[in-house]
């Protein structure tokens, strides 16, 4: 992947039957609507590409994996319709990951917040590095992790999800996330993490596409209603995001 020049991007590249999708945003890899649309499209395209047998999802940089919703874009939302549109972007990405007929391996090198945790939860196999701590901050800024909740709860269970959602200012370390099932593997450094990603992607690239497709269906059984569910959750988030409470909370965080 090309190094960033400071501009946000989503890039895809396929090599030896493995498609790597990388995203970047200068504000801690946060996700505005445009980037969410590009990410959803990249996942959809890779899923339909006969040259790709598996997918690696990663972000650029050395710090945060994904800071979730773009605060700068959230503050510009004036109507509940625009709020609905914004959060529907997260719904689309998660649903594309869910319906993609290929396994998505996640490379999680740093912290994730809010929608970023939802992105990790929607991965089929997340490989992380120590320091990849997580937080669901939504309640503290006036709304809740409604769109990403089904994906996170599916991965770590109702109790662990509720702890994250209720104690919205508390970071949970990567070991906690690994023990709860969000991460499949946790590595001490980038080299070890990268080697694990390469090993698994190589193995899947030489596995039966039909068998993997059928196994993924089984792994995601019971989520068939998410096309409607996540979009309806986005409407709730969009309505709450234009409240005075949320505007004041974001203003305090961005001063």
Instruction: Indicate if the pLDDT at residue 247 is higher than 90.
Output: no
Instruction: Indicate if the pLDDT at residue 226 is higher than 60.
Output: yes
Q: How far is CA 160 from CA 123, 157, 185, 195, in A?
A: 18, 6, 18, 29
Spacing of C-alpha 237 from chain mean position? 17
Rounded-to-integer distance, Cα 156 and Cα 101, Å: 22
∠ CA 216-122-189, nearest 5°, is 105
Per-residue pLDDT, 71:
84
pLDDT in tens, 124-137: 999 999 999 999 99
CATH class, domain 9-190, is alpha beta
Q: Check if the beta carbon of residue 130 is closer than 8 Å to that of residue 186.
A: yes
pLDDT in tens, 38-95: 999 999 999 999 999 999 999 999 999 999 998 888 888 889 899 899 999 999 999 9
pLDDT in tens, 193-225: 999 999 999 999 999 999 999 999 999 999 999
Per-residue pLDDT, 3:
45
Instruction: Indicate if the pLDDT at residue 164 is higher than 70.
Output: yes
Per-residue pLDDT, 73:
87
List CB contacts of 247: < 8 A, sequence separation 6 or more. Answer: 75
Q: Check if the beta carbon of residue 238 is closer than 8 Å to that of residue 82.
A: yes
Rounded-to-integer distance, Cα 98 and Cα 147, Å: 14
Per-residue pLDDT, 250:
79
Q: Which residue ranges make up each domain of the chain?
A: 9-190
Helix axes 33-48, 80-99, angle to 10 degrees: 20
Per-residue pLDDT, 249:
83
Tell me the pLDDT band of 2, cut-offs 50, 70 and 90. very low
Per-residue pLDDT, 248:
83
Could you tell me what percent of the chain has a pLDDT over 70?
A: 97
User: What are residue 64's phi and psi, to 5 degrees?
Assistant: -70, 140
Per-residue pLDDT, 255:
66
Rounded-to-integer distance, Cα 109 and Cα 189, Å: 9
Q: pTM to 2 decimals?
A: 0.94
Tell me the pLDDT band of 117, cut-offs 50, 70 and 90. very high
Mean pLDDT estimate for the chain: 95
Rounded-to-integer distance, Cα 184 and Cα 111, Å: 16
């Amino acid at each position: 992947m090309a190094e960033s020049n400071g501009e946000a991007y989503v890039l895809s590249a396929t090599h030896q039957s493995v498609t790597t999708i990388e995203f970047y945003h200068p504000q801690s890899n946060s996700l505005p609507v445009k980037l969410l649309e590009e990410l959803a499209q990249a996942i959809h395209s890779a899923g339909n590409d006969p040259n790709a047998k598996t997918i690696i999802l990663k972000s650029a940089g050395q710090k945060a994996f994904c800071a979730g919703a773009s605060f700068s874009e959230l503050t510009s939302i004036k109507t509940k319709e625009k709020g609905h549109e914004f959060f529907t972007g997260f719904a689309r990405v998660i649903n594309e990951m869910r319906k993609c007929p290929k396994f998505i391996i996640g490379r999680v090198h740093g912290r994730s917040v809010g929608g970023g945790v939802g992105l990790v939860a929607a991965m089929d196999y997340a490989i992380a590095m120590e320091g990849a701590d997580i937080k669901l901050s939504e309640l503290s800024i006036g709304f809740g992790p409604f769109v990403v909740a089904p994906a996170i709860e599916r991965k770590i269970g109702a109790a662990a999800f509720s702890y994250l959602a209720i104690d919205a200012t508390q970071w949970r370390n990567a070991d906690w996330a690994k023990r709860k099932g969000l991460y499949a593997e946790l590595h001490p450094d980038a080299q070890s993490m990268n080697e694990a990603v390469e090993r698994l992607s190589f193995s899947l690239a030489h596995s039966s596409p039909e068998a993997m497709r059928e196994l993924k269906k089984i792994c995601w059984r019971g989520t068939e209603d998410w096309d409607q569910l996540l979009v309806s959750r986005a409407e709730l988030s969009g309505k709450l995001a234009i409240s005075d409470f949320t505007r004041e909370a974001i203003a305090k965080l961005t001063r």
